[in-house]
Each structure stands twice: as C-alpha cells, then as structure tokens.
Structure 1
Amino acid sequence: MGVKGELNKLNDTLATVKAVLTDAGALQETSVELSVWLGRLEDVCYAIDDIVDEFDIVVLKRQVNQRSIKRKVRHLFSCSNPLVFRFRMGHKIKEIRETLNQIAANRSNFHLPHVERSLLPHRPRETHSSVNASDVIGRDHDKDLLVDKLVKVADGEGVAVIPIVGLGGLGKTTLAKLVYNDPRVVNYFDLRIWVCVSDEFDIRKIIGKIVDKESLTLQRLQEHLQEALSAKRYLLILDDVWNEDLQKWRELSDLLLCGAPGSKIVVTTRSLLVVSTLDPIYVHNLAGLSDKESLFLFMELALGKGQMEQHQNLKKIGEQIVRKCKGVPLAITTLGSLLHMNTELNDWCSVRDNAIWNVQQTETGILPALKLSYNHLPPHLKRCFVVCAIFPKDYGFHSSQLINIWMALGLLGSRDQFEEEECVGNTYFTDLCSRSFFQDVRYSVVDFEFRMHDLIHDLALSVIGSEYLVLTKDSPKVPNQEVQHVYISNKVFLRNGFPSSVLQLRKLRMIRVEENISAFWSQSVVDTCFSRFKCLRVLVLKGPDFETLPRSIKILQHLKYLELWSCKLKSLPRSLCKLQSLQTLQLERCWLLKELPRDFGDLVSLRCLSLTTEGRFLPGKVFQSLTRLRTLEIQCCHNLECLFQTNGNKTRGIPSGLRTLVITRCRNLGSSPGLPYLTRLECLKLDRCDKLDLTMDEESIREHGGGLTSLRALKMDSLPNLLTLPQWLVRNAANTLKHLVLECCRNLITLPEDLNALQELDIFFCPRLIFMPEGLHALKEIRISCCPILKKRCQREIGEDWHKIAHIFGGGQLTEAGGRRWWWTAGARSLQAQGWGFNVFFGCD
C-alpha cells in the first residue's frame, strides 16, 4: 500500500482513537493502569495528528509554488521534495502503526465497555441573552425584599453594602440582575454599574471597570472615579467576590464613599468570610428552591411549558431527580436541558439512578448534575467543551473566536465535504448553548457573546486535567509532560524568559498570554518560543514590545491561529507568509502596521483576518488570492480611502468568498465600489465611518452581477452620510435579511417602502422610537436608536412616514413603564400569548 493509502488509514485510525479516548476518559479515575494506557494512546493521537497535518502542509505549499517557476525549482531541491518527503513520512507512519499495535494489544486488560455516545436524544432550544423575569422561578420574594432594602435610606446612612450569599449555582448573579433591572431600582438611582470581580480582587482593575478606562494609572483612575460618582446616588454590583482580605476591601470602599446618601453596593459571594470584611447593613442569605419550585422549573425545561400534568409517570421520576439537585437552579437547569423534549421513561430512570450521584462533591448537589450532563455529550462536543477551560473564569467569549480555536485544534469534523467548518462550529456552539453549558448568550449581529458559569468552568478544568497548565508564581517547577495548553496569567513569571522546565514541553498545542507583558516579552524570548514549540496550533500574545515579528516564525508550520494584542508592530515579516496552514490572523490594536508583505496572498488557508493598516486601500491582488477568506475585520485604518483597489474592474481585487465584513472607525473611508459584489456576504457591520457614502448606481450593479443576495445581518452605526438605506442593498437582500440594526445615524431620513419583504428587523437601543413592520413573522424586537429625523417623520398621526407603521398600532393601548410612556400594540400582545417571550412597543414621549 502506498503512502497515500497509509495516510487514509491513519485518518480513520485517528477518528477511532479519539472516540476511545473520549469514551474511556470517565473511567480512568478508577484505575492508575488505565490512566497510563490512555496517556500512551493520547500521545499516539497527537503524533498521528501531526503527520496528517504535515501532509496537508506539503499540499498547500505545492499549491503556492505552482504560481512561480523559481519556486518550483526551489521546491524540487528542498527538504520537502516529494520523494524525500514520502520516504521520511513512510518511516514515521510505520513507527506509529507499530506503537499502536503494542497499545491495542493491552486494551483487553481493561475490559473497556462500549459507551453510548448519545444516550439521550437532544433537541436544541432557543436561548436568550438577558434575564427575563418571567423565566426565573421562585425568586420574586427575594427580589422584592432586596429592592425594598435598596430604595430606602436610613438616617445618617452613607454608602451601604448588601451582600447576597449562597452556594455556587443558586442564582446569586441572576437575582442581582433581576434587582439591577427592576424599574423601581432604575428610577431610584442616578447611576448603575455592574462589575464582575471573580478570583482576583485587584483594586486597579475594579476601578478601571467602574469608569471604563482600565489602561490608566491608579492615580488617574481614582480621579475619574471621584468625577463619576461624586454626589450621585449610585448602585454598584460587585459580582462573584472572593476577597477575604479586610485591608483590600477598606482600600476600595474608601474610594467609593463619594456617592450621595442612599448609594448602595451589592456584593454576590459564596463565602461568609467575605461577608465578615464588608460591614453590611443587611445580609441576604439565598436559599435553594422549594421542592415544588424545583419540580416546576425542571419539568418546564424538560417537557416544555404547561406539559407537566400530561406526563404523570415522568412527573414522579422528576420529583426524585430534583430532590438530588437539592434546590440548586443550575443543577436543575442542566438536567432539564439534558432531558429536553425526551419522554422515554428509561432515559429518565437512567438519569435518576446514575452512579455519579454517589460521588462526594464539595458543592452540594451541583457537580454530579453537571458531570452527568457532560457525560451524555457526544464525543465531538466533549472535546470542544473542554477547550473552554483554557480561558480564565468570567471571560467574555465571542463565539467566532472560540470556533476559530476549535478549528485550529482540529476539532471540527464535517459529514459533508461541502459544509464549511464555520457552519459546523456554529452547530456545535448552538448545541452546547441548548444544553446550558453557556450563559448570558447575546447576539451581536456578527456573532454571539457569552460567558460560562464558574462551576461549569470548574467542570471543564476537571475534565481537561493535566493537559492544561496555568503559569503563575505558584506554578509547579516541573510541569506534567502531558501538558498541551499553557495559559500565562502573571507577567512576573516571564521576567527572565520561559523557565527551562516549560521549554521541555515540546508538544504544546496552545500558548495564551493574556497579561500585558511588554517589559519582558523580547524578540529573544519569542525566538526561543518559536524554536522550541514547533507543534503549536494556537498562539495568543498580549503586548509584545517589538516592531516586527521575528523571522523565525516560519518554523511554526503547524500554526493555525495567531492573535496579537496591543503591540507596536510596524511590519510583518515575509517569513510569516510561509505559514500555509494559518487560518486565523488577528492583529488587534496594532496601530502602527504600515502595509502587508507582498507575499501575503500566499496564506492560502487564511479564513479570518483582523487588522489595522496605514495604507490608503487594501491591495486587490493580495486579497483576490485569499480564496478561503471568510471573515474580514478592518479597524482604525485612518488613511483608508477605498476598501478594495479594483482599478475599474467591478469585481477585481475583492475576496469573493467573504461571509462576514466588519469596518470600524475608518474615518476617511469614502467609497466602497467592490462592496455590492460580495455576493456571498452574510454579515455586514459598518461602524463610525464619517465619510462613507453608500450611494451607488443600482442598474450598473445589476448589470455586473452584483447584489448582496445572501445578506442575513446588517448593522450601521454612526454613519453621518446615511440618509436612507440604499435601494441596491435593500432590494437584493429583501429575501434574506433577518437582522437590521441602526444606531446613531442622525441624518437618517426614511426607511425603505417595502419593509414587508424583510423577515426580521431588529433595531436596538432606542430611547424613543420602536416599531414593528407588518408581516415579519420571525421578528424578535425592533428598535431604532438616536435617529432624530426619522423619529420625527414617524411621529404618531402627523409624521410623513406614519402611514408605513400605522397598521401596527390598531387596538393598542398607552401605558407607563420605567418612568416613560409606551404604546403596547395588539400585535405584541398576541405574540406574547403565543409564547414568543418578547415585547414590542413604541416610545411616545
């Protein structure tokens, strides 16, 4: 059998090995021998992955070299010559197969059972972003009690502290959100601030979050804090506090005393020792849900609203399941999601009788439920979920970022060769959301923003185990050789470069450096990193202090995800363009980059690019070569005048496969002639481009085959030249556009006539005008923000455009809410009655 045949067999073997590792992973805690055997199998898994990757790299390089005769000759005499390469790889494959045979011979010693990969059928359910009071069970009394405490001022009371205390998963943060958004609280306080504190009680960071200026010195932050809070009655939520140091709390609280009488600080915490440092006026001890509330929540999630009484046999088992959850909403929600729309009696009994409930846990009733839910994930979702452990607690995720990392680590398989990996990743993300592994999910037009509950993060850490290492001052001197992912959270750790013990971890797949380490992250340190960690797939650096990347970056042939934050890059080396496997290149806040290297088009695998450049246009020849580019984000390109250099040809120089385009703060961008010819574009975001003019000849666009006929989401923010939505855009996207967001377009005069063609219109953050066009059956919410001319034209009864929206208000009624007047429509009430769970209203004042 030839090398190609052996490679195909290796690919099949790799899939089988991953399945065995996933299925047997839960059993290794019961046997040291099994744990060692799985470790050997995992090493082979990574070795196979490297070999498969090397074959892909050679194919990609051959594709690039075909463009030039000189390159073909160089390739013939290089170490990647096909004959030399096949001979070398043939030996590697033979060694791996022999190792696999030895490992496989020992499998029978462990009597590994076949583990069902999908014991419970699962149907995804729709998730929502913010707390909806109607979805929260059993907390009305807690909310009213806390609101009452917040809006009353005792004699002589200054800034008062109220802690909410309880076990993890009880819903402390959810309760705080309910209180924070209650109309009585909104009207009472001049200022409301939400800060997530989590593990590290860093005063400078906390103040930075309060004033939204984290990069300043402590002295400047204190000045901004005084200015922000002085003489104002404020509410500050400090969520998830662990600090038990009295001195640290006093240092912070002294800075917060400048508020007006009646100001309150609400602290959520699991620790009574934290409470002892606060000197509170009242402590709210949050209890678990009652048996009745627990059962109601569980059955609503498992069977759907109002279905409990129709399944009496399942109700009895449900009562036994929720007793094991001991009133903890997170445990109840997780198991309810696990059984969602499943009415098989045996599956419910399997959850009730699972042996995992007998495992002792530090958090009463919660971790067994979470682990049970994890164990029922299919293997592909298990592998994707554990990757979340490499991010810190309370990390603000973006789904696109996570999906790109999944892609880089080879976790996105496709049953359909024509299905793109981003689509597979979105499916995986949606599945994990529907199973309650993510929370606070919010759609942001381009992707989803979300977080993970601390206990879900703990679960991911427990599963990833020794593969993950956080480098701090307390890190082990000799890390486990199984480490694959490293997260550096303490800049002091790198004062003298990478420790020799870490440099021995030659098989690292990922390095994330979140702290700004500009003082320690020299080119020599980076060179060392590149030369030692040749198997890297993901590299994230924040604040490296150099003007160009070291040329040695070409060593990282397996690198697929490179993210650089806040560095002084003026140029990219040509050697970067030798990374034919690179899929994601994020250059965030690298303001000084003058231009792209001329061979940039050789990055033939590039799918996601985010950059800032000082050029006047994006080089068309380069971008036309990036045929796999799907996401392009251009930010703060202050010299950019034209998006793509087309040289008169309407379609020349544009990345035709682009799906997402984001243009932010490009103040001199005047035109974008190539934009209508991005016919596969699905998401478009235009933000703070002062000179952008979208006026174009619709007939010419149609003649040249243009039109955004695939557009699903459009956001336009702060575009002074936008008077109306361009007809060439609206007509072509009428059958596909589902999300339209208009913010701060102060000169916007009118909306298009044919609004009924749109399927969904979401216009967010409107302090004044909100309305629903007729016939939009997929509608969630419609808002228009800060568009004063349009507001006037849509004024009730007398506005020029009132006729476009008048049909919405038939049978509506005027009501008071949040200190303002709202018009609730008959359409909104009927939709709410169908269980859509959203409000539609029109601001009248």
Structure 2
Amino acid sequence: MEAFVGILVDTLNSMIQKESGLLCGVATDMENLARLLSTIKAVLEDAEQKQFTDKAIQLWFQKLNGVAYEIDDVLDDYAAEASRVKYKNSGCFSLMCYPIAGNLVFRHRIGTRMKEILEKFNAIADERIKLGLIDQNRGSNHFQVDSTGTRETGSLLKEPDLVLGRDEAKDEIVKILVNQVRDNQNVSVLPIVGVGGLGKTTLAQLVFNDERIAKHFDPKLWVWISEDFNVKRIIKALINSIRGTPVEELELDPLQRKLQELLRGKRYLVVLDDVWNENLEEWEKLKSVLECGSRGSSIIMTTRMEKVATIMGTLQTYYLSSLSENQCWSLFRQRAFGRQEAEEYPNLVVIGKEIVKKCGGVPLAAKALGGFLRFKRQENEWNSVKCSEIWNLPQDTTHILPALRLSYLNLPVELRGCFAYCAAFPKGYEFEIEEVIHLWMANGLLSSNETMEVEDVGVAVLTELYYRSLFQAVKEDEFGNALTFKMHDLVHDLARSVMKAKHGGTESNRTMILGMPDDQLTVAFPITITGIDQCFSFLSKCGSLRALMVKSMESTQEEFTKLSHAISKLKHLRHLDLSRSLIIELPNSICDLWNLQILNLNDSLILLSLPKGMRFLRNLRHLCLHGCWSLTHMPSGIGKLTCLRTLGMVVLSGKKGFRLSELRDLNMLRGGLTIMHLERIEDKKDSEEACLIKKQSLHGLNLYWDSERTIQRYNDKEVLEALKPRPNLQLLRVLGFNGSSFPSWISTVTEVVVHESAAEYIVGV
C-alpha cells in the first residue's frame, strides 16, 4: 500500500507541475491531497506492523484502500481526457495545455469528486492519530534496482534447493513401495503426514524422481489436489499426464473408462499431493477407478491431516519429522549467506542460530527467514528479526505463520503489494513471468525508473520474491531459466491474510473478490468471468476494473465467441486477456479503452481480424498475437502505437491495410516478431522502411512467405536482404522463401531454421 500511495503522490505532483495553473479550480485540492497522502504514507509502516492483531487498523486500511482507488480513478479520468484532447488538438505540446476549461461538465464532475475525496482523506488522516499510528522511518528498506546492478534481473535461474535430512526418509519410502508384498489388492496407498511447510511435497518429489522408482513403476503420475477433491478433475489430470495432451471429454463415465484403458495391466505410481478430503465416498469413487493396474501399483498421498491419512491409507502412515537444529541452520545459512562464508560474520552466525531455534525445524520457515536476510549484513537487522514481537503473537495450527509474517514485514515496500496481489491466483496456480508482471502493471504496482522500463522492474521484483523463498520455480527451460512459478500454500495463505486485512477480501471458487462497492470491486484484482451471461451483466458494474481475464467455462464447454460492446464502459481497463478464446472478431468499441496497456489474444485460433480503430490505443504496450494463425489482415495505423513493446505477429496486406513500413517507428519492440505473407510486398523499399536493424531488443524473427502463393513476384531475395535485423539475432525462422540464395547478414544470426524454401541454408556459408 505504501508503494501505491507513493505512486499517487508522484502522479499528483507531476500533474500540478505540468499544468502550470490550468487545472481550472482543482489545483489547490490536488496540492492538499498530495500533502495529506504524504502524511498518511509516513505512518503506513507502523500500520503494517500492527495490522495482524488490531482490527481497528485493518478497518482503517480498508477505508484508505477504497479512497486511494477513488483518487486513482479521478487522476486516470483527468489524464485520459487530457490525452484525448491532446491528439485532437495537434498544436498542443504539453499534456495539460488544452482547452479543458471549456468543458464545463467535465470540470464540474472532476471538481466535485476531488472535494469529496479530500473530505474522506481528511477523516482518514485524523483517524490515524486516534489509532496511535506514528511515523516509522524505515531508512533504506526500499527496493533499489537499476540496469547496472550486481544482481541478475534479465533471467531467472532456478537455484538448486538444498534438501537436508531427507535421504533416510526417501530410502525408507522407496523400499516400502518397491518391496512390499500385495496379496489382496491391486493398489496400495502410502500416506505421508506432517505440518505445513515441513517438506512433504519435497520428500514425495525425491521419491518420485528416484532411479529405483523409475525402473519399478511405469507410468509415474503427479496431481496436486489441495482443498478441491474433484474426482473428475483428478481423473482428467491423470489422463492428461499420460497422454501429454488435454482431454476434451467432459462426462465422468467416459473419463473413468479412458483412464482405466491407459492404466490397465500397468504397474503405476500416482502421487496425490496436499490432500484435504475427509469424504470417504469421494475417495472411494476415485480409488475404484484406480484399481485397474497390475499388482504393485501404488499411490503416495501427502496431507497435514491424520484423519485424511486414516481414510485413504492402506499402508502404515509415514510421519515426517522436523529437521534437526543443525539441519535447519544449514538450510538457513545457505539462503542467508549464499556463496559467502558464514564464518566471515561470526556475530551474525550467533544471532542466526538463535533465529533458527524459532523455526521449529520447519524448512519453509528457515528458507524464508534466510531469504530475506540474504543481503543484510548489519547486526541490528538480524537482531530485529530475533527479537520481533511477531514470535509472541497467538499462533494458528501451522507454526509457520510467524516466520512468514516476518518475511512479509521485512519486504521492501515496493514488493509488498506485488506479493499480496498474488493471492488473486488460486492455490497451486502456476503463473508465467509475463502473466504476473502484466497484472502488476495493470494495477499500478510497478513503476519505471531512469534506467529500467516497467517490465524490467517487474522481472527484478519477481526475482527478489523468488530469492526470498516466497515464490517457487516450477518449470524451467533447457538452460535452467525458470519459466513458471507458484506459491507454497502457506505462503499463499499469508498473501491472502494480508489482502483480507487490507481489503476485507473474500474468496470465491476461482479468485479473490474484494468486498467493496460494485464500482470498485476489482481495482486490485483480476476477475475471472466464467460464462457468457455472467460477462454481459457483470461488465456494467465494473467501472474501476483494471484487469479482465475472460476464460471459457470448462464444465459446460461454453466458449466466448463474441465480446460485448459494453467492454467500452471499462474506461480504466489496462489488461484484457482473451487468450485461447473462440472469438472471431473484436468490437471496434474496444478501441475506446484509452488506458489499455496489454491486449492478450494469444492462441485465439479463429480470430480473423483486428478492429479498424487500433491506432487509437496509444498506451498499448503489449499486443500479444502468438498463435493467431487465422488473421487474414491487419488494420493500418499500427505504426502509430509507439509505446508497443510486444507485437507478436503482423499480417501484411496489399496496397490497403497494414504495410511493413509501419514498423519504422516501433523501435522499442522486444522478444519475438512474426511477419506473415511477405509475398504480398511489391517493392523492397517497404521492407527497408521497416528498419528492423534499429529494433535492438528483438531476439527472434519469423519470416513467412505463403508456400502456396498464386502470384509470383520473384523478389523474395531482395525483400529478405532488406529485412536485415540487428546483429547477433538469436533465432531466425524462414518459411516459403523462393529466393535463389540467402543474404550475407544471415551469417550473424545465432540459430537459423529454414522450411519449405527453394534455397538451402548451409551453416557457415
């Protein structure tokens, strides 16, 4: 919250400075608001420390959040109106220098809202005194990142976790599974029981990946369960794991038969991770389906609950013990000191061992505490953790929450909102790097600095949260770079508790929904709409919506094929995710979304065209079109979107529509770019004017000619020569090229892939 309030103060001050007295009666109110916000911001650290135990402060936070979002909306409206008029009046150079004074209705509305908000902020500022909130100068506990920093922010390398004290447990479980005698049953169930954060999942992974298990069981399947013990979902997940492709069947009976076909006669191993189900009937439904393998088939299930183990287990329960103090210290030391020798800091070692005693032998606690002390080398910083009052707060049944609360309270203020926001994801949800960064951007949780763009700051934030063990890397590429992340369920509980304290949040089936008035329902969170009827009725209530993700309804196979024109009412929308939809075309009203920064249409397989007015989306930074292979053409004017960082694909037209020369000024493009229908280029000059060589952040280029073209222009070689990219491009794919030879610049590309082309590309030639 402190970071968000800081951004509001900066925005207010920027507007006041730029408008030079032309704010038409609201300048004074803006100045007063900026002062009030600065006063409130000064006590937010004290409020953060006290919020977990003081309900009155939680209510104060909720009021502050609501009013802060109101002022954010007002500033949004003002800036949007200013920008619109700026583009209509080309003679104006300053954002604020426009004849808004003539728009009496708009002036009156803004002025009235500002005065109402100012009154609310005055009340909130007065209340801080009654609550005894004081200014706590945190000094340097801010997130400092720049492009020349010593920490890597360009890629996320998955650090190998040090797994301690579990070799004996692993061997014992492997022997049980491999050597047990089964006379009367086709499948045995081994429960692993322990408190949250103790390492049950880690132990199951060690067993799952052991060579002895790989030789004994085939197939090996893993399903994460959590609170939702849905038999159909579990069966679908098992089928998907075996086949490697999603199953489309929705009815339970055929799904059961399909799974039995795949498992019959095989000695399989299934891991059911994090089970909470106490319903014997539901378990029997699943178990009856799984009793089809050959003798020796086994199920490992992990749970925190003894009752669940009793219901499901057929073998003796394995109770996972806590780590010893020495093991816990080794894990903490690895996280806190990294590659440095702990012995270089003898005083910190003494304090650190005292901290470890408070971890209760729980690995997650040791990793989290070591993670946030990783780059701290002052004794007072370590002592503040050891002596924190958090350890003395009433604990719930997990024992882990005090350590995680300390991790949260020691986050730099700029990271707290980003961390807590992830409570919007369901437990166990794997999120991609760009996905979460785009959502942070849309909700105003990130800001750029002098040396880094906002997306790069987002990568740095994600990296930091990972280093602090608040995020876990799940999937990685062949080079060890993390691709997807998730939160441990206890860490997710922490994020959810923070959001509930500050926003009064409640949880629905798929997302966190804020308990606010309808017009502020989703300022801080995305809402997942799961049904066409829901969508159209819901849109009219979401004037403050920042992020909207439209998903199909799996249970009914209902798909979105058309987007309502009501989308234009979401004037504050910054992130619209329509990926994997069956939409054929988008309404032109989408081009009224002046603030839109991210439009994700990835894998919209039957999307035929984009709206003609795309050129009006001047704030668009990411137009994600990967996999939109049905696009027949694109509108002209894309070249006016000079904020674009991502443009997944362009489809060339003839004389009308999008031309390659429109890429001329889009020099901030990054990532990959696909250019379709290069055979439609009549003059190589059009290719030259694309100026690909100036796009220094592009790392991949896909150049496609239609291999079944009906018109032969015989200019492929000249066109490709003119499309010369920056030196050292990482990847070039060429399809349907009919030129006699490749240009010389192709030798500078790191990797070249050629398909269905007349000329043969020979490496080194």
Please give the TM-score of this superposition, normalised by the length of structure 2. 0.79
1:387 aligns with 2:439: no
Alpha-carbon spacing, 1:585–1:294, altered in 2? closer, same or farther (3 Å): same
- Conservation of the 8 A alpha-carbon contact between 2:371 and 2:467: yes
1:425 aligns with 2:448: no
1:216 aligns with 2:249: yes
- Conservation of the 8 A alpha-carbon contact between 1:119 and 1:347: no
Give the SS at the match of 2:500.
helix
Match of 2:94 in 1: none
Output one character per residue of 1:211-243: Cα deviation in whole Å (capped at 9) or x when no partner.
Answer: 113542223322331232222222211111111
Instruction: Specify the code of the residue in structure 1 equivalent to 2:395.
Output: Q
Give the SS at the match of 1:609.
strand
1:708 aligns with 2:746: no
Instruction: Specify the code of the residue in structure 2 equivalent to 1:88.
Output: R
Cα shift at 1:368: 0.5
Cα shift at 1:297: 1.4
- Conservation of the 8 A alpha-carbon contact between 1:512 and 1:541: no
1:256 aligns with 2:290: yes
Match of 1:43 in 2: 66
**Number of residue pairs matched by the alignment:** 701
Q: Counterparts of 2:632 and 2:453 in 1: how far apart (Å)?
A: 29
Output one character per residue of 1:454-508: Cα deviation in whole Å (capped at 9) or x when no partner.
Answer: 00000001101152645659x9xxxxxxxx9628xxxxxxxxxxxxx98745554
Aligned counterpart for 1:176 among listed residues 204, 215, 219:
204
Match of 1:603 in 2: 617
Match of 1:92 in 2: 113
Aligned counterpart for 2:442 among listed residues 408, 425, 434:
408
Match of 1:301 in 2: 335
- Conservation of the 8 A alpha-carbon contact between 2:268 and 2:298: yes
Output one character per residue of 1:260-297: Cα deviation in whole Å (capped at 9) or x when no partner.
Answer: 23222111111111111223324221111111111111
Match of 2:636 in 1: 621
Output one character per residue of 1:637-677: Cα deviation in whole Å (capped at 9) or x when no partner.
Answer: 9xx7889999886565784432133669x9x9989966955
- Conservation of the 8 A alpha-carbon contact between 1:485 and 1:508: no
Match of 1:494 in 2: none
- Conservation of the 8 A alpha-carbon contact between 1:236 and 1:264: yes
Alignment of 1:88-127 (within 5 A): 88-117=109-138
1:631 aligns with 2:646: yes
Cα shift at 1:419: 3.6
Cα shift at 1:203: 1.0
Alpha-carbon spacing, 1:659–1:401, altered in 2? closer, same or farther (3 Å): same
Give the SS at the match of 1:581.
coil
Q: Counterparts of 1:629 and 1:18 in 2: how far apart (Å)?
A: 33
Cα shift at 1:326: 0.7
Aligned counterpart for 1:486 among listed residues 513, 535, 550:
513
Cα shift at 1:314: 2.3
Aligned counterpart for 1:535 among listed residues 521, 535, 544:
544
- Conservation of the 8 A alpha-carbon contact between 2:606 and 2:629: yes
Match of 2:432 in 1: 398
Alpha-carbon spacing, 1:448–1:420, altered in 2? closer, same or farther (3 Å): same
Instruction: Specify the code of the residue in structure 2 equivalent to 1:96.
Output: I
1:660 aligns with 2:694: no
Give the SS at the match of 1:163.
strand
Cα shift at 1:545: 5.2
Alpha-carbon spacing, 1:580–1:112, altered in 2? closer, same or farther (3 Å): same
Match of 1:151 in 2: 178
Q: Counterparts of 1:130 and 1:225 in 2: how far apart (Å)?
A: 34
1:434 aligns with 2:467: yes
Output one character per residue of 1:365-422: Cα deviation in whole Å (capped at 9) or x when no partner.
Answer: 3110100010011211111111001111001111211111111111112332x64221
Instruction: Between 14-23 and 296-305, report the one with greater CA deviation.
Output: 14-23
Match of 1:552 in 2: 566
Match of 2:684 in 1: none
Cα shift at 1:84: 4.2
Q: Counterparts of 2:430 and 2:249 in 1: how far apart (Å)?
A: 21
Alpha-carbon spacing, 1:318–1:547, altered in 2? closer, same or farther (3 Å): closer
Output one character per residue of 1:110-149: Cα deviation in whole Å (capped at 9) or x when no partner.
Answer: 332333446769986899776847x212211112222222
- Conservation of the 8 A alpha-carbon contact between 1:650 and 1:677: no
Alpha-carbon spacing, 1:512–1:105, altered in 2? closer, same or farther (3 Å): closer
- Conservation of the 8 A alpha-carbon contact between 1:303 and 1:340: yes
Q: CA RMSD in A?
A: 4.4
1:190 aligns with 2:218: yes
Cα shift at 1:428: 1.4
Q: Counterparts of 1:149 and 1:46 in 2: how far apart (Å)?
A: 57
Give the SS at the match of 2:311.
coil
Alpha-carbon spacing, 1:120–1:105, altered in 2? closer, same or farther (3 Å): closer
Q: Counterparts of 2:320 and 2:407 in 1: how far apart (Å)?
A: 25
Match of 1:448 in 2: 483
Cα shift at 1:244: 1.4
Alpha-carbon spacing, 1:387–1:92, altered in 2? closer, same or farther (3 Å): same
* Percent of residue pairs identical: 33
Q: Counterparts of 2:691 and 2:455 in 1: how far apart (Å)?
A: 22
- Conservation of the 8 A alpha-carbon contact between 2:425 and 2:512: no
- Conservation of the 8 A alpha-carbon contact between 2:47 and 2:133: yes
Alpha-carbon spacing, 1:158–1:554, altered in 2? closer, same or farther (3 Å): same
Q: Counterparts of 2:495 and 2:655 in 1: how far apart (Å)?
A: 43
Q: Counterparts of 2:583 and 2:339 in 1: how far apart (Å)?
A: 55
Output one character per residue of 1:765-814: Cα deviation in whole Å (capped at 9) or x when no partner.
Answer: xxxxxxxxxxxxxxxxxxxxxxxxxxxxxxxxxxxxxxxxxxxxxxxxxx
- Conservation of the 8 A alpha-carbon contact between 1:656 and 1:680: yes
1:203 aligns with 2:231: yes
Match of 1:458 in 2: 493
Q: Counterparts of 1:744 and 1:175 in 2: how far apart (Å)?
A: 45
- Conservation of the 8 A alpha-carbon contact between 2:269 and 2:299: yes
Q: Counterparts of 1:349 and 1:751 in 2: how far apart (Å)?
A: 63
Alpha-carbon spacing, 1:646–1:510, altered in 2? closer, same or farther (3 Å): same
Match of 1:831 in 2: none
Cα shift at 1:60: 3.0
Cα shift at 1:95: 3.7
Output one character per residue of 1:734-767: Cα deviation in whole Å (capped at 9) or x when no partner.
Answer: 6xxxxx799999x99999559xxxxxxxxxxxxx
RCO (CA 8 Å, sep 6+): is it higher in 1 or 2?
A: 2
- Conservation of the 8 A alpha-carbon contact between 2:222 and 2:273: yes
1:359 aligns with 2:368: no
Give the SS at the match of 1:340.
coil
Q: Counterparts of 1:340 and 1:643 in 2: how far apart (Å)?
A: 58
Output one character per residue of 1:601-657: Cα deviation in whole Å (capped at 9) or x when no partner.
Answer: 2111112223465755542624212222212345xx9xx788999988656578443
Cα shift at 1:683: 4.5
Give the SS at the match of 2:300.
strand
Match of 1:772 in 2: none
Uncovered stretches (5+) of structure 2, i.e. residues with no partner: 1-20, 92-97, 144-149, 241-245, 553-557, 682-686
Alpha-carbon spacing, 1:112–1:714, altered in 2? closer, same or farther (3 Å): farther
Q: Counterparts of 1:586 and 1:560 in 2: how far apart (Å)?
A: 11
Q: Counterparts of 1:117 and 1:287 in 2: how far apart (Å)?
A: 38
Give the SS at the match of 2:272.
strand
Aligned counterpart for 1:561 among listed residues 575, 595, 603:
575
Q: Counterparts of 2:482 and 2:78 in 1: how far apart (Å)?
A: 32
Match of 2:383 in 1: 349
Q: Counterparts of 1:15 and 1:709 in 2: how far apart (Å)?
A: 48
Uncovered stretches (5+) of structure 1, i.e. residues with no partner: 69-74, 476-483, 488-500, 735-739, 755-845
- Conservation of the 8 A alpha-carbon contact between 1:244 and 1:274: yes
Instruction: Between 388-397 and 138-147, report the one with greater CA deviation.
Output: 138-147
- Conservation of the 8 A alpha-carbon contact between 2:187 and 2:298: yes
Output one character per residue of 1:413-468: Cα deviation in whole Å (capped at 9) or x when no partner.
Answer: 2332x642212211211121111110025455998310100000000011011526
